[in-house]
Amino acid sequence: QANQVAKGRASPPRLKRGHLRWAGRMGAQGSTAGPDAPPVDREHSPVDFATHVQKAIDHGDFNRYKELWDSHAWYKERRSRDDRIKYDEDLIDADIMKHVGFGLRHRRIEWQLETLKVARHFFHIDRGRKGLLKLKLDEVIKFLTISDDGDSDQAERSLIAVRVLCDMAECPEFKRSFEKPEILNFLCNTLNQVHEASELVTRIFRKLSDIGPSLRAALIEGSVGDVLEAYIKTVQCKRPPRGFSIETWKVDVRAMGHCASTLATLLKYNEAVQVDTKTVVQAFVTLKESEAEADCFALNAELARLFYWMCRTRESVTDLFYEKDDTDALASQDQDHVLATLCDLWKTCVSTYPCIKNPATLDPQFCTDDCDKSIVIRSDSEEARQKAAAARKMMCHINCVLWLCLPIHRLRWKLRHFGVTQIDIAFQLRDEDLFSITLSTVRHLLDLPMTHCCGDLVKFFGEKLLQLIDDVISEKLQDATTMHVRLLIDSLSILAFSRDMQEMLTQEAIFKKMSSFKEAIFREPNRNLPGSLARGWSLGPLEKLHVRLVILFILGEVSAHPVNRLSWIRDPGNFLKPFHKSYTEDKKGQEFDPASFVKELASGKGLSDVATDQDSRPAREWENDRERFKNIANLILTVNTREDKKRVNANEADKPYKQIFEYWQRHSTAHYEELKGLKRSNETTKQVGHLRKNLREVLREAIQRNAEKPLTSLEAMRVDCRPHECILALSFLSRMALEPSFKKCFRNGFAVEKLLACVAAGIWAEAREAAATLANLMWLPDWNDDNLICWLKFDGPECIAIDAANVLMPLKHGRPVPVEMGKGMYMSNWGIRFEENSWIELHSSGLRRNNIPALLTSACPSHTFSRLSRREYQWMAQQPEPECFTLTCWFYWPADPTTTTKVLVQASPAPKAPEGYATISIEYIGPKSESKADPKQFVWALVDTSLGEPMKYTVPLPRLSQGWHHLAIVNCKKITNHAGTKLFVDAEDCSGPFLAHMLIPNDFYVIGNVGGHGALVLDQSGDPTRAPAGSMPFGLIADFRIYAVPLSTGDIKSMLTVDKFEDVPVAQKSSNNDRRSSRPDEIVRTLAHMDAVTILAQRLDVPDCAAECLRALASLATYGPVRAQIYSVCGRQVLRLLSSPCQMVQRQAARLLNNIA
């Protein structure tokens, strides 16, 4: 039947009527033009015209039928637009569509073809489209295009059908017609067989790709992407030489532009399309060669857009620039050919930008025909405006491609080598679509972990985004839309993940800036106001909710920065002032209260339009998110006010800890896969806490996912992960982890395991906070509230200047000698012998038990240790008493001790004693009698400076056998049975009655010898004598500890019970009467048992995350059995990080290597 219809021997079956709504306009192609003279002698009225058409049909007079419609087209071109519409509507009133339907169903092919031309007159009218839809126009075209292979009129028929389909593609009513495989197959065949139709066919595909997902899916199912990819390879885009016709070349150029646009759109929406990089680059090169004769900005713009989406959707941009192809001669000659071509193209953009910078006054040199520079056009013509728009489009996409290259180190330095400059042009292009591309590219890049490895790029984006925020506040951003505002604040919220950017936002007074920004965009249009104030933004309820939520995200992330929540790191005048005080005056002279602003954002104030209709979507969204707003606001206020509140105890902190921990656990990005599965099955997120995976399995999945495509915050938020709130929650937990009295909160409920899972599988910013929490747990590393503030193990020949309490960074002076083989403490090689000119300096200003240094409490990439050590640590719980401490260590007593004074501890220099006093030492006082057989007599010499003048107290040293002995000194103003100082040797109380009246100074500067510039040593008469540095070595010691609390006698006795220190099982539980048997490094050993080394070593890619992971790894390296593992897993990477541009990364890497080696 199809062949009979094609030959005109049968008519198509009668078509059923249908109905669709109108939402389109007239096709791009004009009507069929007649000759200069009208085909008929006069113009008919609509009714007369319909009557004449009826007569021609009744008599079967095709020539008359054609003549009438030709005259209609001839007169129509000479009418105004309104007159044309009025005339065609009158024709429809005259029942002309009945005659059109007859022509479409006619058995003769020439009637059908002519009627198809006629149908194009009615696409611009609503009733006309509905009428054609009822006539099943697509079915007519399908039957019409079927013919025998030898039909010579097939090309003409196809061209007519394509023109009609081009008009249909403009009308959404005919959307379903293009989902049919027959229509798509016809268009693909016509593209390859009819050159005249190539531009129209590719234009149809371009329109279809923009309509919706169903049509894009149909295009992919119909292999349209493959057809277009093959077609784009065959098009010759090289301009013919002068003197030859370029019309065919113009058709090819326009078709190639439509083809590139279609492929770019399919790539944009993640459709399965493959485009060869070589094809696109070769087109760029060919067009560049023809630059003298033609600019071709239109084609270059579409190719640039295609290449942009190729880079944006490719997992590895580097692979796109360096595709392996043995047949590519250019690749073998120059492996940087793609990058060089891109840079040449950008230089063209930079030179062209001044010509089009002001759209109202285009440069005359720019005003030439896009395909022929010999043709000059007017600067105010539509053609000139279209050329300028294409040039801006090309600039925007090439600029964004350069941004995509900058995070990659291999490409970044080559871009500089090729002379790429002025990469901020895209921010100046304010066309609606281009501005959206610019902001979405910034948001996409900021969400990638590798971008944050390039600090200058992140800072560049931060400065530009803040400038745009200022433009919104000052009414300078006139062309922005609601979508632009959303992209802008989304980008700023992701930018605030970076700690350096959090500090920059703090300097920019982000709380006040966000308050002004909210007032500016929430203002409704008011035509009574002058100028730009009348504009307003007209945000809908959903947009207002989103803006409020993202502003809270930004403020929360800035609040989480250590500078803003840790008082000892703050710069004067450069931090968020206490939230309970108003501190900044606004424009009206009133003070700005950040806490009130946060509460206002969370309260829903000003959202009356949301609550108007309780059944509306905005009202439902507000009800669903009300608790979320409240949680974020509470976290912000909690994090920022905790430092200024009164001291809290562990019982008060236990409840908020559990609430915050459970909230973080439910919404952590570490549970992305579980939440994704729950969303598919429509289950609640409360079940996430019960989903358990082995840490090895979590790590394996995370490594596999990061190798394919790292998880981003935007992707995570689609499955109810809440990275912004989780970062804020973890910052609070990390603050709690510093406090010895709160560490027990993390001991139960698999808290450590969950934190390690977050480091392994969470996004980089959340992994950073989890690593910081783990590092803080190892600061004062004991589950018991014992405040171990210094622990020098001396557990290896080179492990000397290592503080296992992770509080200090001691300095080694000279070369202390390792213990001899077989003589080490704990049946190992623990022990260091201090000889002349060797000692250890604990801290540059001395260690004080209640004011301990805070240099290892945080690791921001741009900070230094000097900044962190400006102030002492500020306690959240009860601060230790200055006079209370316990000092313990093991010392080796030789068979024949020397008679020189042996200094164990020296205090720091003071105004009255610039050299500092030797506060704990062993002195020789002679034999008991004149007999040479009597043993030598030694005493412990303790110095008290609490009364201003130094007082020396001595305690006889009991007779000791050769070997290791334990020393413990307990100092406190008031203990249960006595006040003052107690001295224990091998757990035996050696204190005399005089020690109850003395207190050893709260100051530890040097151990093992006299250090610094020497020390003052009190002789037997109490007079100070200056001893040179390094002149009084103590000898062999091991396991030196300082606790900021007085230990009991039972605690001291328990320290003598461990024979082999490193082999104590992690799971061993201590009894209530023996707290010391569990050893003070149980936290470190627990993490080592969970393979924390491998997990932390995976997150050294982003400087922010690397600084905290290195801090945690360095703390782990204080545990001897994991040192070799750390170096084998990440040793080479740590060596490379020594040359990182981030100061803190350098320092933490050096600390890790010091602790390892």
Instruction: State the maximum Cα–Cα separation within the chain, in Å, rounded to a whole number.
Output: 153
Q: At residue 689, does pLDDT exceed 60?
A: no
Range name among 94-98, 318-322, 525-529, 703-707 with the lowest pLDDT average: 525-529
pLDDT band at 589 (very low <50, low <70, confident <90, very high): very low
For range 785-793, the mean pLDDT: 89
Block residue for tokens 């491609």 = 401
1117 with 1123: CB under 8 angstroms? yes
Phi, psi for 577 (deg, rounded to 5): -65, 165
Q: At residue 760, does pLDDT exceed 90?
A: yes
Q: At residue 268, does pLDDT exceed 50?
A: yes
pLDDT of the residue at 647: 53
Per-residue DSSP letter, 38: -
For range 929-958, the mean pLDDT: 81
pLDDT of the residue at 116: 84
Phi, psi for 792 (deg, rounded to 5): -100, 105
For range 1057-1084, the mean pLDDT: 57
Q: At residue 301, does pLDDT exceed 90?
A: yes
Collapse the DSSP code of 133 into the 3-class scheme (helix H, G, I; strand E, B; otherwise coil) and give the result: helix
pLDDT of the residue at 682: 66
pLDDT of the residue at 685: 54
Q: At residue 625, does pLDDT exceed 90?
A: no
Block residue for tokens 């020390």 = 1015
For range 282-306, the mean pLDDT: 91
* Residues 87-132 pLDDT 10s: 888 888 888 888 888 888 888 888 888 888 888 888 888 888 888 8
pLDDT of the residue at 819: 92
Rounded CA-CA distance 1070/1072 in Å is 7
Residue-by-residue DSSP string for 144-159: HT---TT-TTHHHHHH
pLDDT band at 892 (very low <50, low <70, confident <90, very high): very high
Structure tokens at 494: 């992701």
Range name among 69-83, 609-623, 732-746, 1015-1029 with the lowest pLDDT average: 609-623
Q: At residue 1033, does pLDDT exceed 50?
A: yes
| Best-predicted range by mean pLDDT (591-595, 688-692, 712-716) | 712-716
pLDDT of the residue at 255: 93
Rounded CA-CA distance 861/501 in Å is 11
Rounded CA-CA distance 675/693 in Å is 14
Per-residue DSSP letter, 912: S
Range name among 386-400, 470-484, 642-656, 957-971 with the lowest pLDDT average: 642-656
Instruction: Identify which of 714, 635, 721 has the alpha carbon closest to the alpha carbon of residue 677.
Output: 721
Rounded CA-CA distance 806/788 in Å is 10
pLDDT of the residue at 207: 93
For range 793-805, the mean pLDDT: 91
pLDDT of the residue at 42: 61
Block residue for tokens 């050096």 = 1150
Q: At residue 285, does pLDDT exceed 60?
A: yes
| Best-predicted range by mean pLDDT (45-49, 883-887, 1097-1101) | 1097-1101
Collapse the DSSP code of 778 into the 3-class scheme (helix H, G, I; strand E, B; otherwise coil) and give the result: coil
Question: Which carries the bigger pLDDT value, residue 1069 or residue 217?
Answer: 217
- 105 alpha carbon, distance to own chain's centre: 61
pLDDT of the residue at 203: 93
Phi, psi for 22 (deg, rounded to 5): -85, 135
Rounded CA-CA distance 341/968 in Å is 74
Is 0.95 topped by the overall pTM?
no
Range name among 31-40, 242-251, 343-352, 670-679 with the lowest pLDDT average: 31-40
pLDDT of the residue at 882: 75
Q: In Å, how far are 300, 353, 430 from 389, measured between CA atoms? A: 12, 11, 11
Q: At residue 573, does pLDDT exceed 60?
A: no
Q: At residue 1143, does pLDDT exceed 50?
A: yes
pLDDT of the residue at 1152: 95
pLDDT band at 332 (very low <50, low <70, confident <90, very high): very low
How high is the mean pLDDT of the chain? 82
- 836 alpha carbon, distance to own chain's centre: 53
Q: At residue 1041, does pLDDT exceed 70?
A: yes
Nearest-10 crossing angle of helices 96-104, 81-93 = 80
Q: At residue 14, does pLDDT exceed 70?
A: no
pLDDT band at 649 (very low <50, low <70, confident <90, very high): low
* Residues 1094-1118 pLDDT 10s: 999 999 999 999 999 999 999 999 9
pLDDT of the residue at 1138: 95
Range name among 168-182, 789-803, 1107-1121 with the lowest pLDDT average: 168-182
For range 964-970, the mean pLDDT: 94
pLDDT of the residue at 15: 33
Instruction: Identify which of 1075, 1069, 1072 has the alpha carbon closest to the alpha carbon of residue 1047.
Output: 1075
* Residues 1073-1092 pLDDT 10s: 444 444 788 899 999 999 99
Structure tokens at 956: 């006889």
For range 1133-1157, the mean pLDDT: 93
pLDDT of the residue at 786: 78
Dihedral sign computed on CA atoms, order 612, 615, 616, 622: positive
pLDDT band at 148 (very low <50, low <70, confident <90, very high): very low
For range 695-701, the mean pLDDT: 87
Name every residue whose Cβ is closer than 8 Å to that of residue 1 and which is 6 or more positions away in sequence: 10
For the chain, percent of residues with pLDDT exceeding 70: 84
Q: At residue 581, does pLDDT exceed 80?
A: no
Q: At residue 1068, does pLDDT exceed 60?
A: no
Block residue for tokens 């930008």 = 353
pLDDT band at 881 (very low <50, low <70, confident <90, very high): confident
The dihedral over CA atoms of 319, 322, 323, 328, expressed in degrees to the nearest 10, equals 170
The dihedral over CA atoms of 508, 512, 518, 523, expressed in degrees to the nearest 10, equals -120
Residue-by-residue DSSP string for 366-392: T-B-SS-TTSB--TTSHHHHHHHHHHH
Instruction: Identify which of 929, 933, 908 has the alpha carbon closest to the alpha carbon of residue 918.
Output: 908
Q: At residue 548, does pLDDT exceed 70?
A: yes
Structure tokens at 328: 């590519």
Q: How long a stretch of residues is the chain? A: 1157
Rounded CA-CA distance 793/1080 in Å is 11
For range 664-685, the mean pLDDT: 80
State the DSSP H helix or E strand holding residue 940, giving kind and residue range, or none if neither.
strand 936-944
